[in-house]
Chains A and B, each alone.
Chain A
C-alpha cells in the first residue's frame, strides 16, 4: 500500500492514473483511510485487488472535492455496508457483495457483477445500484425520494422476502433473469408491506398473494416504460448482456407495484 502511495505522488496528473491497491490482510479502517488520503490528493481511479471482507467502501469520502469523479474497482468479495452513506463515487465490484450494500446512500453508483446479500439499499435516498444476479432478503426497505433525488436499484435476477417494505419513494426494477436457476423462489413473499410511495417494476407475472396489503398492481404507462428501458439499457451495458437477450428484456412486459395510498396507517387511531 505504501508503495502505491509513493508511486502516485511522483506523477504529474494523479487523477488520470489508476492506482492499484492490494487489500490482502489490510483492515478496512486502514484501507479506506488510504483510499481517502489518495483521493484528497486528487486520485480518482482506484483498483482494489484481493478484497476479502473489508467493509464500508466509499463511506469515508465526505469532503473530498472530486468525490463525484472517484471510481473504485473492487476485485474480490467486499464486506458489508459497501457504499453506506456514500455521496458521489462509483464503485464497481467484480464479485459478490455482502449485506447492507448502499445503506442510506445519497448519490453515486454501485455496480455489482455477482449477487448481493440482504438489506440492499436500505433507506437509500439517491444514486443507482445495479446487481447482475440475485439479491437477498429485505431489499429496498424504506427507500425514499425528494425532488430530483430518486434512487434506483436494478436487479438482474430475483429478490427474497420482505422486498420493498415501507418503501416511501424511488424505484426498483426486477428483471427476473435466470428464471430456471431460481425455479419456484422466483418471487418473494411479503412484497411491499407498508409501502407508501415509489415504484417496483417487475418483469413477468406477479402473484397477488405474495404482495403486502398496501400494494397495488398497475400497468406501467408510456413514460414509465421509457424509464424501464433506459435502466435496462444501462444494465445491459454494465454487464455485457448479449444483444438477443437485451432485446427481450427491453421489450418484455412489466408490472408496476405501487402504494395504494400515501397514508397506509391513517385510520389506526381513536380520537
Chain B
C-alpha cells in the first residue's frame, strides 16, 4: 500500500563490517531486510522498522544501528510528528490507532518527585547483610481486632496469601503473550514464593502444578473459567478495568486463537475472543458484591478474592465500595499500566497517575476505618525497586509488575505487541518467534529481577532504620516531595523536602 508516512526509524549498515550472513533478515519479523544476491548486499525497507533493536543486538559484526529517523516534519510543539503520522494513518484507513505497552506521554511521573529518608545518628540505620530483614507480605482481609485466648492469638478467619517479597507478576494472558513467557512467569513466581496472574486467557492444565503461585482472573469474557480453574488457584481476581484502557473490553483477534489457546479459553480455534467492556452481571457495587460472594461460595471461602480497577477520578469512592462488597484485596492499575493492545487515544488520555490514586485510596480507606478489611495492590509502570518502596510507603501492601517482567524477558518497548509479530518472541503466537524466549532463561531472568529488587528493598529499608516491610506500609513520613505543588503534596499526604 502506498503510504504517506515517513519511516519512524532509519537503518544504518556499516558495509565494511557486514558479512551478508542474513541474520538481520531472519530475525526481523517486520520484513525490513532482504538480500540482493546480484549485488551481494542487504537491502532495507525502513518504513517497516519498529525500532525493536532485535537485528542490531543479534548482528554478529555489530554492523547495524537503528536510529530515530532524523528526517522529520518541520518541528512544531503542537503538531508533533506522532500526531501528524497518526492522523495520516487514520485518513488512509478510517480506523482506530492501536498501540501496545503503557502510556508513553510526558505526564508527570510522581515517583521522580518523591525522595526517601535515611537514618543519621539518632536512629541507627540497619545493615541488611548482617541483620534479619523481613519482606514477607500477607495479602487478604485482616481481623478488626486481635483476640487472645489463653495466651494464644486466635487465628485469622480470613484467607490470606503469603508472599516472600511484595512483588507479583501482573495479569498477562496466554494469548497476549506466548506460552514460553506465560510459563516463565508462573515458574519464576512459584520458585520465588510470589504470585503470577493468568489474565483472562485461561490456564493450561499442565501448569496447574504452580497453583499455589497463581492468581486466576475472572473478567467480563469469562474465558476458560470453571470450578476447577477457580479452586486450583491461590486467589481469584475479578478484573473490572485496566490502566491502559479503563472502561473498555478486550479483543483477541481470531488469527491469534490457535488450537492450544482455544483449549485454555474454551472457545473454537480461529474465533474472536471478545471481552465486553463491563461485566454484564455487574452494574453496581451490590452486583459486585454478588460476584465476589459467588466466587467465595465456589471456592468454599478458602481463597482471597481480588477486585481490580483502573485508577480513575473517583477511585477512592469506588475502592470503598469494593471493600464493602467483600473484596479481600483491591488492585488499582494506573495511567501508565501496560497492555497488549489498546486504542492509543485511550491509553494516553484516560485515567490518573497511580501515585495519586494510591495515596487517595489509602487515605480514604483509613478515614473510613476499613483499611484492614482489604489489602491494597497497585500497578502501572513501576520501573525499579525505589518506585515499589515509595508505593509501599504511600500505603500499598504489594505491587504487580507487568512491563518490567517483560523487559526482563527481552522486551525493548517498541509498542508493537498488538501486531502479534513481536521479534523478541514475547507478544506473539508464531512458533518461529516464540522459540526466541527459552523458558529456562526467561524463568532465571525473572527470578534474578525479583532477587535484585528484593535486595534493594532491604537496603532501602535498612538505610531508613526499618527492619520489616510491615513498618514501611503507609509510613509516609519516610517520603518527601520535590517540585510539587501544595495540592499534590496534600493528595500524596507527604511533606515537601526540607519541611
Q: Name the distance in Å between B278's Cβ and chain A's nearest Cβ.
A: 10
The reply to whether the CB of A125 lies closer than 8 angstroms to some CB of chain B is yes
Q: Does B95 lie within 8 Å of A269, measured CB to CB?
A: yes
Q: Does B93 lie within 8 Å of A270, measured CB to CB?
A: yes
Chain B 449-473 interface mask (CB, 8 Å, partner A; 1/0): 0000000000000000000000000
The reply to whether the CB of B90 lies closer than 8 angstroms to some CB of chain A is yes
Q: Name the distance in Å between B244's Cβ and chain A's nearest Cβ.
A: 16
- Give Cα A119 to B225, complex, Å: 18
Partner of B222 from A142, A149, A196 at Cβ < 8 Å = A142
Q: Does A145 lie within 8 Å of B268, measured CB to CB?
A: yes
- Knowing A62-B227, A196-B272, A197-B268, the reply to whether A268 touches B293 (Cβ < 8 A) is no
- Give Cα A104 to B290, complex, Å: 13
Q: Name the distance in Å between A78's Cβ and chain B's nearest Cβ.
A: 13
Q: Does B231 lie within 8 Å of A63, measured CB to CB?
A: yes
- Residues on A with beta carbons closer than 8 Å to the beta carbon of B254: 262-263, 266
Partner of A144 from B90, B267, B293 at Cβ < 8 Å = B267
Partner of B90 from A138, A149, A196, A270 at Cβ < 8 Å = A270
- Residues on B with beta carbons closer than 8 Å to the beta carbon of A197: 268, 271
Partner of B272 from A103, A104, A149, A263 at Cβ < 8 Å = A263
The reply to whether the CB of B240 lies closer than 8 angstroms to some CB of chain A is no
The reply to whether the CB of A133 lies closer than 8 angstroms to some CB of chain B is no
- Give Cα A62 to B268, complex, Å: 26
How many B residues face the partner with a CB closer than 8 A?
A: 45
Closest residue to B91 on the A side, CB-wise?
A270
- Contacting B at CB under 8 A, from A39-92, are 55-56, 59-60, 62-63, 80-81, 84-85, 87
Partner of A166 from B92, B274, B293 at Cβ < 8 Å = B274
- Contacting B at CB under 8 A, from A80-118, are 80-81, 84-85, 87, 99-100, 103-104, 106
The reply to whether the CB of A165 lies closer than 8 angstroms to some CB of chain B is yes
The reply to whether the CB of A32 lies closer than 8 angstroms to some CB of chain B is yes
The reply to whether the CB of A212 lies closer than 8 angstroms to some CB of chain B is no
Q: Does A146 lie within 8 Å of B262, measured CB to CB?
A: yes
- Residues on B with beta carbons closer than 8 Å to the beta carbon of A271: 89, 93, 95
The reply to whether the CB of A192 lies closer than 8 angstroms to some CB of chain B is no
Partner of A270 from B97, B230, B280, B301 at Cβ < 8 Å = B97
Closest residue to B94 on the A side, CB-wise?
A270
Closest residue to A149 on the B side, CB-wise?
B266
- Give Cα A99 to B280, complex, Å: 11
Q: Name the distance in Å between A51's Cβ and chain B's nearest Cβ.
A: 16
- Residues on A with beta carbons closer than 8 Å to the beta carbon of B291: 81, 103
Chain A 18-48 interface mask (CB, 8 Å, partner B; 1/0): 0000000000110010001000000000000
- Residues on A with beta carbons closer than 8 Å to the beta carbon of B223: 144
Chain B 221-236 interface mask (CB, 8 Å, partner A; 1/0): 1110111101100000
The reply to whether the CB of A156 lies closer than 8 angstroms to some CB of chain B is no
Chain B 286-302 interface mask (CB, 8 Å, partner A; 1/0): 00001101110111110
Q: Does B298 lie within 8 Å of A85, measured CB to CB?
A: yes
The reply to whether the CB of B143 lies closer than 8 angstroms to some CB of chain A is no
Q: Does B274 lie within 8 Å of A265, measured CB to CB?
A: yes
Closest residue to B221 on the A side, CB-wise?
A142
- Residues on B with beta carbons closer than 8 Å to the beta carbon of A135: none
Partner of A62 from B221, B274, B298, B301 at Cβ < 8 Å = B298
- Give Cα A125 to B228, complex, Å: 14
- Knowing A59-B297, A125-B226, A263-B253, the reply to whether A196 touches B268 (Cβ < 8 A) is no
The reply to whether the CB of A220 lies closer than 8 angstroms to some CB of chain B is no
- Give Cα A201 to B90, complex, Å: 39
- Give Cα A99 to B290, complex, Å: 10
Q: Name the distance in Å between A155's Cβ and chain B's nearest Cβ.
A: 17
Closest residue to A80 on the B side, CB-wise?
B290
The reply to whether the CB of B96 lies closer than 8 angstroms to some CB of chain A is yes
- Residues on B with beta carbons closer than 8 Å to the beta carbon of A142: 220-222, 274, 276, 280
The reply to whether the CB of B270 lies closer than 8 angstroms to some CB of chain A is yes
The reply to whether the CB of A168 lies closer than 8 angstroms to some CB of chain B is yes
The reply to whether the CB of B149 lies closer than 8 angstroms to some CB of chain A is no
- Give Cα A194 to B295, complex, Å: 27
Q: Does B294 lie within 8 Å of A59, measured CB to CB?
A: yes
- Contacting B at CB under 8 A, from A159-213, are 165-166, 168-169, 194, 196-197
- Give Cα A166 to B281, complex, Å: 14
- Residues on A with beta carbons closer than 8 Å to the beta carbon of B298: 59-60, 62, 84-85
The reply to whether the CB of A267 lies closer than 8 angstroms to some CB of chain B is yes
Q: Name the distance in Å between B355's Cβ and chain A's nearest Cβ.
A: 32
Q: Name the distance in Å between B158's Cβ and chain A's nearest Cβ.
A: 14
- Residues on B with beta carbons closer than 8 Å to the beta carbon of A81: 290-291, 294
Chain A 246-271 interface mask (CB, 8 Å, partner B; 1/0): 00000000000000001111111111
21 A-B contacts, Cβ less than 8 Å apart? A56-B294, A56-B297, A59-B294, A62-B230, A84-B294, A85-B295, A87-B226, A103-B281, A119-B281, A123-B222, A123-B225, A141-B280, A142-B220, A144-B267, A146-B268, A165-B280, A262-B254, A262-B270, A265-B274, A270-B96, A271-B93
Q: A interface vs B, CB < 8 Å?
A: 28-29, 32, 36, 55-56, 59-60, 62-63, 80-81, 84-85, 87, 99-100, 103-104, 106, 119, 122-123, 125, 138, 141-142, 144-146, 149, 165-166, 168-169, 194, 196-197, 262-271
Kindly list the 7 A-B residue pairs having the minimum CB-CB distance in the complex, ordered from nearest.
A123-B222, A270-B95, A62-B227, A146-B266, A56-B297, A59-B297, A270-B93
Since A32-B297, A125-B226 are in contact, a sample of 18 more A-B pairs with Cβ atoms closer than 8 Å, ordered by chain A residue number, is A29-B301, A36-B300, A55-B290, A60-B298, A60-B300, A62-B300, A87-B227, A100-B294, A123-B222, A144-B223, A144-B266, A145-B267, A169-B267, A264-B272, A267-B95, A269-B95, A270-B90, A271-B95
Q: B interface vs A, CB < 8 Å?
A: 86, 89-90, 92-98, 218, 220-223, 225-228, 230-231, 251, 253-254, 262, 266-268, 270-272, 274, 276, 280-281, 290-291, 293-295, 297-301
